[in-house]
Structure 1
Amino acid sequence: MTEHTRTPEGLSSKPRIRPAETGDTRPLSVSARLGRLQFHHSGKFRVLQVADIQDGPKVAKDTIRLIEASLDAVRPDLVVFTGNQIAGYDPAFAETFRKRRWSAPADAADTASDVSDTAVTAAAVSGTAATDTSDTAVTATDATADVSDTTASTASDTEAATVAAAAHERTRESVRGAIAQFLAPLIERRVPFAVTYGNHDFQCGLSNDELDAIYREFPGCVNPMPGVEADVLSAHSLLPDQVVYPHAAGTFALPVADEAHKRTVLGIVVLDSGDYAHGGGFAAPADDALAFLARVPAMIGARSALFQHMPLPEYYDLLTPVTATTPYAMQGYRDHAAQYYVLDEAKVRPGGYLGEGISCPDASREFAVLRGDDAAIRAVTDAADAAGVIDDDDAVDTRAGMFPYIGVATGHDHRNWFVGELDGVLLAATPTCGFGSYGPAPAKRATRLIEFDIRHPHEPRTQLLEFGELVGKPSSKKAYTYALNAKPPQDGEGDDLLRRPTLWGQIKGLFA
């Protein structure tokens, strides 16, 4: 992702906000106007990444303002939410909160089924006790007592199931309300969006499948129903002519056509990168998800850009180890906790910022898969095949002629923003856009624009769209910072992709 310097001093660097003209009822997204993801006649295709809203039932006003301003400035073809939209640990979800996915309470439906089975057993016991007249009086009395205890237990279980189901529904409605708030700017402007998940979304008590179903209720959602074959999105998605390759909730692929709609030149892939690992830390993406990544380039027939929540372990290769006393150094995470780091200026584009240690899995085959490494692809496909998730023969066939990935854009670490390159793969970290959790100073909270050019579609440019530049002063003091490293963030990484230079700016640039 190419990055350049900002506008020369003395000229405004604030991106243009271009609201729709009066009476213009067309979708803000050009792809939505075309009915499919496609490069414009201008030769551009734009994706807006929105990372880590991470809020409860009442989404912060400034988060909404940043999303609105970003949409009007960028006019993206597609918005990708890269996880942790929902702060599942919010007190509003206390009734259904689950700290880890494997510690989730029993589903209400399962509980109801168990209650029904208990009731049948109780009835059988009751019938047996009533008809067995040959038993002694003591035995009959004991049986009656057992039936009474079982009936009381059944009533208690039924009541508990009813309470759990009601709590689950309250959470569902609260989550739906939160989603409606941050999607409102997209729905109003008719911009399609894709969603994946992080390590906090599920903590509200809803599974990714349940969350996916809620998102699909809203117009513009391109998340497909999970499946194994290519499908075409519905008109509800705003892209009725768009092919999609589904895999699971939060994991799917979308081909992007050239400006003449004659061939696919790019893939947009969204991945559920996992959450917590047993024993601590964060888990790598599931083997079946990585096997899907390995098959996507051959299915699409072009190189792809990947969007997910969790950074890869290889992000640490963009850093330089330093002593703990080095100015602005940040301590690493888990396996890297004994070391301090700063950004490696030889590998990272100007304007990047390291505000906290990179939180990622201890190990993962994902980067090797993105590079098309045969051994890694074989390992994940064999593992997925052994688990019965995919057919290994199909996986091997689809690997033939696969293309490497362009790069990956992640969120998760709220105070990090940088773009680097490692072994030909671009690695981008995007800060939080939300004002409901920790992060950088309010002015530096941002969304990320990634712009593709048909002349070189696999060399995208990127720009952070910062709150301070797009919106200005925050409306509240709710946002707070964390893990400050005392280094003032630079003016910003990325091109100014939104403004056409003025005549004076062009003349001044000649003498700069």
Structure 2
Amino acid sequence: MTLRFRENGTFRVLQMADIQDGPDVNEDTIRLIREAIAVSDPDLVVLTGDQIRGYDPAYIDTFLRRRGDRPGAHVRAVTRFEAAVQGMQPSDDDAETAMDRTREKVRETFSAFLGPAVTADVPFAATYGNHDFQCGVLVDEQDDMYREFPGCLNPRSTPDTPTALAADHADPLVCEPGTFALPVESSDGGRIAMSVMMVNSGDYASEIGGEDGEPGSHVESPVELASQTADTVPYELYAVKSRDFDLADTAGYGTPSPEAIRWLGDVQRHLGERNGDGLPVPAIAFQHIPPQEFYQCLREVPAWTPYAVEGTRTFSGKCYLLDESKCRPGSLLGESIGCADVNCGEVEAMRKAGGYFALFAGHDHKNAFVGRVDGFDLGYAPTCGFTSYGPKSALRGIRLFTFHEADPSTYDTRMLTYGELIGRRSGNEVRVFIGDHLMTDGASVRNELRKPKVAATVALGGAALAHVVWHGLIRRR
């Protein structure tokens, strides 16, 4: 399928981030996707990771906390609690049967959220986040599943040829599952006017050093792992500091593989050769986990500043607000930036390669800002799902891009929110409220208390409690 600018010189892309749901995809999520497609009439939909809620109770038998885990061996307390509430229990089925059941549930999830795009005949492409693989179906197999649906542009990352011939037939536009280029031709079809780059940003860093299950590395299948007597990555090595309710674990997030970083430059040289001028083409990259450079869109502020958020891990101990001098109007910072502990050099590789003008991510469900740092745009789409945590219903949404053939780097972008398209309230405001005010550690508690309304509510509640206690003591006396 060829992507091409329209006759009026525009090309529209919808970015859907963090659908993050199980087999029964929330109806509000589907409504939002359907309405966004109907309103925007996109030429392409990009899914930027965590489409699958890998820790959902539906996958309790095959859950992988890490790629080297044994399926279902180390289910988190939060998943066990949710399963108990829903009346679900781990089954006694063998590993292969459990995996087959999980595969069908993943297909059900795909069918639900892809339905609006398939019905509207809009092509789509998907990359992966840190929760997709946790269902037990690794991303290379998920790639095959996506290609079962009409309109999927995810290419095969390995040729269907013998290994000896693979190097001669490898597609330079493809690096690995979730990392590939989608060239967009000019309106007359005479050249490649721009390219959409999908990048697999990895999932989790390993407690024992290096990236755990980097894209492109060999990882045994969950069924093979189930037959082993010990984990490939020993559980005890990373469980020492583990917190049951911390889905990110303690090792931090991953980064794109070294192969992907090199590919970012190689693919630009290839596209330049295809155009015949050797010049890099204008390109925008989409991925799940943001790189450390996203912090450059913020400014450090005192800890008592209203609405400030604390940095995490490498950036902990500091508080931030958006830098208005760098960010577009309408930008929102709702939580800290959850990047890797190391800078893998991805943004620098893009600058060196030339042509790249923007990088957009998901991952941090409450963030929806677009900042410009040294001539390069860094931006977010918030969650468009209603099962996981995120902002209030009205602010959950899908990001629309309109690129112009004459200069794709001067693109327009805005959020298509649930509040704009459907209404202020979703079908389950209690769940949304909990997700909007979710506190999992000291930093998130302090972030909530920096919100004036929350602080006032806590103060009033504390005063009322003190009043009751005081009068109770007086009565006793």
Identify whether the pair has TM-score above 0.5, normalized to the shorter chain.
Answer: yes
1:333 aligned partner: 312
For the residues of structure 1 that align with 2:31 and 2:99, how far apart are their CA atoms? Answer: 30
Q: Report the alpha carbon displacement of residue 256 of structure 1 after superposing the two structures with TM.
A: 0.7
1:89 aligned partner: 55
For 1:256, give the aligned amino acid.
V
Q: Which aligned pairs between 1:95-134 and structure 2 lie closer than 5 A?
A: 95-105=61-71
2:5 aligned partner: 39
For the residues of structure 2 that align with 1:407 and 1:362, how far apart are their CA atoms? Answer: 22
- 8 Å contact kept, 1:282–1:360: yes
Matched, 1:476 2:441: no
Q: Secondary structure at the match of 2:100?
A: helix
For 1:486, give the aligned amino acid.
K
Q: Which aligned pairs between 1:190-339 and structure 2 lie closer than 5 A?
A: 190-227=121-158, 245-279=173-207, 280-301=251-272, 302-339=281-318
- 8 Å contact kept, 1:431–1:447: yes
- 8 Å contact kept, 1:52–1:84: yes
For the residues of structure 2 that align with 1:339 and 1:403, how far apart are their CA atoms? Answer: 33
Q: Structure 1: which 4+ aligned runs deviate by more than 6 Å?
A: none
For the residues of structure 1 that align with 2:383 and 2:92, how far apart are their CA atoms? Answer: 38
Q: Secondary structure at the match of 1:290?
A: helix
In structure 2, relative to structure 1, the CA distance for the partners of 1:201 and 1:487 (3 Å cut) is: farther
For 1:469, give the aligned amino acid.
E
What is the TM-score when the length of structure 1 is the normalising length? 0.68
Matched, 1:178 2:99: no
Q: Report the alpha carbon displacement of residue 456 of structure 1 after superposing the two structures with TM.
A: 1.7
Q: Report the alpha carbon displacement of residue 162 of structure 1 after superposing the two structures with TM.
A: 7.0
Q: 1:465 aligns with which of 416, 431, 456?
A: 416
Q: Report the alpha carbon displacement of residue 103 of structure 1 after superposing the two structures with TM.
A: 2.0
2:373 aligned partner: 422
For 2:309, give the aligned amino acid.
M
- 8 Å contact kept, 1:294–1:369: yes
For 1:52, give the aligned amino acid.
D
Q: What is the aligned residue count?
A: 360
For the residues of structure 2 that align with 1:211 and 1:55, how far apart are their CA atoms? Answer: 15
The more displaced of 296-305 and 326-335 is: 296-305
For the residues of structure 2 that align with 1:370 and 1:411, how far apart are their CA atoms? Answer: 19
For the residues of structure 2 that align with 1:60 and 1:440, how far apart are their CA atoms? Answer: 16
For 2:26, give the aligned amino acid.
A
For 1:444, give the aligned amino acid.
L
Q: Secondary structure at the match of 2:187?
A: coil
Q: Report the alpha carbon displacement of residue 169 of structure 1 after superposing the two structures with TM.
A: 0.5
2:358 aligned partner: 407
The more displaced of 361-370 and 445-454 is: 361-370
2:332 aligned partner: 353
2:451 aligned partner: 486
For the residues of structure 2 that align with 1:445 and 1:457, how far apart are their CA atoms? Answer: 26
For the residues of structure 1 that align with 2:92 and 2:2, how far apart are their CA atoms? Answer: 44
Q: Secondary structure at the match of 1:463?
A: strand
Q: Which aligned pairs between 1:59-98 and structure 2 lie closer than 5 A?
A: 59-98=25-64
In structure 2, relative to structure 1, the CA distance for the partners of 1:104 and 1:348 (3 Å cut) is: farther
In structure 2, relative to structure 1, the CA distance for the partners of 1:451 and 1:104 (3 Å cut) is: farther
Q: Secondary structure at the match of 2:68?
A: helix
Q: Report the alpha carbon displacement of residue 475 of structure 1 after superposing the two structures with TM.
A: 2.6
For 1:476, give the aligned amino acid.
N
Q: Using CA pairs below 8 Å that are at least 6 residues apart, which structure has the higher relative contact order?
A: 1
- 8 Å contact kept, 2:34–2:116: yes
For 2:53, give the aligned amino acid.
A
For the residues of structure 1 that align with 2:392 and 2:285, how far apart are their CA atoms? Answer: 28
In structure 2, relative to structure 1, the CA distance for the partners of 1:487 and 1:410 (3 Å cut) is: farther
Q: Deviations over 1:198-229 (max 9, x none)?
A: 00000000100111111111111110111379
Q: Report the alpha carbon displacement of residue 97 of structure 1 after superposing the two structures with TM.
A: 0.2
Q: Report the alpha carbon displacement of residue 289 of structure 1 after superposing the two structures with TM.
A: 1.0
For the residues of structure 2 that align with 1:458 and 1:416, how far apart are their CA atoms? Answer: 22
For the residues of structure 1 that align with 2:186 and 2:177, how far apart are their CA atoms? Answer: 28
The structure with the larger Rg is 1
What is the TM-score when the length of structure 2 is the normalising length? 0.73
In structure 2, relative to structure 1, the CA distance for the partners of 1:162 and 1:63 (3 Å cut) is: closer
For the residues of structure 1 that align with 2:357 and 2:3, how far apart are their CA atoms? Answer: 18
- 8 Å contact kept, 2:284–2:357: yes
For the residues of structure 2 that align with 1:463 and 1:426, how far apart are their CA atoms? Answer: 14
CA RMSD of aligned residues (A): 2.1
For the residues of structure 2 that align with 1:87 and 1:424, how far apart are their CA atoms? Answer: 35
Q: 1:371 aligns with which of 330, 351, 358?
A: 351
Q: Report the alpha carbon displacement of residue 422 of structure 1 after superposing the two structures with TM.
A: 1.1
In structure 2, relative to structure 1, the CA distance for the partners of 1:228 and 1:409 (3 Å cut) is: farther
